């Protein structure tokens, strides 16, 4: 398997008032194509900061982040925006669907932002995802008319509609009950197995790690454990 994502001695320092906080102190990880990896650690360990850097949402203080061989760590805003648009898909803890739009329109927004014309292949891919996520009959509902689990499945469909190289999921079950959490995690597994979707899941919950192929445990801004 080829290396899809790699960080090399990644550092991020924030300024909180006059105090400098080292959120990441030299993180080096590797994720291969088709992997389902969990990044786990307690609050404040730097996993969210790592997620933001892997998601090309901010610049690194030092080190490198390679996505398909391109270093995104110090790209300007426009280049990072393009990486987010073309290579990454995001799933958030609070679903983050646009409340005024229906589920279908939320997914179409992602396609619109992607900016490429619709193709039959793309439509077929989306249909497959929707069927897998079992939300194809609820697309005309607004987020407020869907359960938390359904909203999160719409958010997953939105994240995957443009075939991103990596799906980044930040505490995707944090706002769900146990039953819905299990459904969503099993769907992640299915997506990984059937569509060979690379998934990087950030969580503080050790139970979630059981659904993934590999675990990266973080502590105090550093990688503490690599485990399979």
Partner 1 sequence: MNTQIILAGLKARPVRTGVGVLAVALEVVLILLLVGLTNGAIADSGSRVAGAGGEIIFKNGESSYVVGMNPAVLPVKMVPEIEKIEGVKVAAPIIAQTEVGGGFTMIWGIEPTSFEAMSGGLRFIEGKIFSRPDEAVIDDRISNDKHLKVGDSLKVLNRPFTVSGIVENGKGARVFIPLATAQDMTRPDSATMFYIKLHDKKQVKAVIQRLKDAFPGRDVVDADDWLSLMFESIAPLLGLVFNVIVFVGVFIGVLVIFLSMYTTVTERTREIGILRAMGATKSFIVVLVLQESLLLCIIGAIVGIGSSYLVMAILKGIYPTLSVLIDSGWVFRAVLFAILSGIIGSLYPAYKAASQDPIEALAYE
- Positions that interact with partner 1 (CB under 8 A): 52, 55, 57-58, 77-78, 81-86, 88, 90, 92, 96-101, 105, 108-114, 158
Q: How far is the CB of 27 from partner 1 (least distance, A)?
A: 18
| CB-nearer residue toward partner 1: 102 or 198 | 102
| Kind and range of the H or E run holding 50 | helix 47-54
Q: How far is the CB of 183 from partner 1 (least distance, A)?
A: 23
Residue 197's nearest CA partner among 33, 68, 40, 38 is 33
| CB-nearer residue toward partner 1: 109 or 222 | 109
What letter would DSSP give residue 73? T
Q: How far is the CB of 106 from partner 1 (least distance, A)?
A: 9
Q: Identify the three-state secondary structure at position 31.
A: strand
| Kind and range of the H or E run holding 17 | none
| CB-nearer residue toward partner 1: 41 or 55 | 55
Q: Using only the alpha carbons of the chain, give its radius of gyration.
A: 17
Q: How far is the CB of 207 from partner 1 (least distance, A)?
A: 25
Contact 180, 148 (CB under 8 A): yes
| CB-nearer residue toward partner 1: 166 or 209 | 166
Q: How far is the CB of 195 from partner 1 (least distance, A)?
A: 19
Contact 38, 188 (CB under 8 A): no
| CB-nearer residue toward partner 1: 57 or 139 | 57
Burial of 47 (0-12, 13-18, 19+ CB in 10 A): buried
């Amino acid at each position: 398997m080829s290396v899809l994502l790699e960080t090399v001695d990644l550092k991020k320092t924030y300024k909180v008032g006059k105090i400098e906080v080292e959120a990441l102190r030299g993180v080096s990880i590797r994720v291969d194509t088709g992997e389902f990896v969990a990044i786990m650690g307690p609050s404040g360990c730097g996993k969210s900061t790592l997620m933001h850097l892997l998601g090309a949402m901010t610049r690194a203080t030092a080190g490198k982040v390679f996505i398909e061989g391109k270093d995104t760590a110090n790209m300007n805003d426009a280049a990072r925006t393009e990486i987010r648009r073309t290579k990454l898909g995001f799933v958030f803890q609070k679903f983050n669907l646009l409340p005024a739009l229906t589920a279908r329109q939320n997914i179409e927004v992602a396609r619109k932002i992607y900016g490429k014309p619709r193709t039959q292949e793309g439509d077929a891919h989306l249909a497959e995802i929707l069927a897998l996520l079992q939300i194809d009959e609820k697309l005309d509902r607004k987020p407020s008319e869907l359960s938390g689990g359904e909203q999160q499945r719409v958010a997953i469909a939105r994240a995957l509609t443009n075939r991103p190289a990596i799906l980044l999921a930040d505490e995707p079950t944090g706002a769900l009950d146990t039953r819905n959490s299990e459904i969503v995690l099993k769907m992640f597994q299915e997506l990984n197995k059937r569509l060979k979707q690379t998934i990087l899941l950030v969580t503080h919950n050790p139970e979630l790690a059981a659904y993934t192929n590999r675990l990266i445990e973080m502590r105090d801004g550093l990688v503490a454990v690599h485990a399979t």
